[in-house]
Amino acid sequence: MDHSALIDQYEAGADLLSRGLRGLTEADLLAYPVPGTWSIQEIALHLMDSDLIGSDRMKRTIAEDRPSLLGYDENAFVKNLRYDLQDVHAAAAIFAANRRLFTVVLRAIPTDAFARIGVHNENGPETLEHQLKKYIKHLEHHMTFLSKKRALLGKPMEV
């Protein structure tokens, strides 16, 4: 497996969240263009929290022998952590900085480190490679929703 291509993909996602927020007003960020789903602001804060948790999991998988990786309830985070009051642009900056900082680690570790395993309390054993792919896909998944919500607000994503 070419891990450098995966790492490039992970790093390339660093600025996607900031780009997804450009040109949006506070009302846009807090709107629910699809009732019963998260706002753009909630998506952004979720992505920051999730990526911080993900990099922690990957770091522990690299550094420790078969570490325990704890799951969390993303809906409880959205409901109880007051995402509506947090600075969404600061969250996007933290997301980007975290990806860039962790990319340095990913580029420095030996290839065999990608086979190291962490044990998720809900999903079981996960290799570092699997975790990296999961967080790449996670960003893509939520950016699709963010883009659709922007379009519904009449503010499509800039290319």
pLDDT of residue 158: 81
Outline where DSSP puts E strands in 2-155. 68-69, 117-120, 124-127
Q: Model confidence at 53, in pLDDT bands (50, 70, 90)? A: very high
Q: Is the whole model's pTM more than 0.85, yes or no?
A: yes
Task: Write out pLDDT tens, residues 2-35.
Answer: 899 999 999 999 999 999 999 999 999 999 999 9
Domain boundaries, the chain: 3-152
Looking at CATH, the fold of the domain delimited by 3-152 is given as: Four Helix Bundle (Hemerythrin (Met), subunit A) (1.20.120)
Which one, of 68, 46, 52, lies nearest residue 126 by Cα?
A: 68
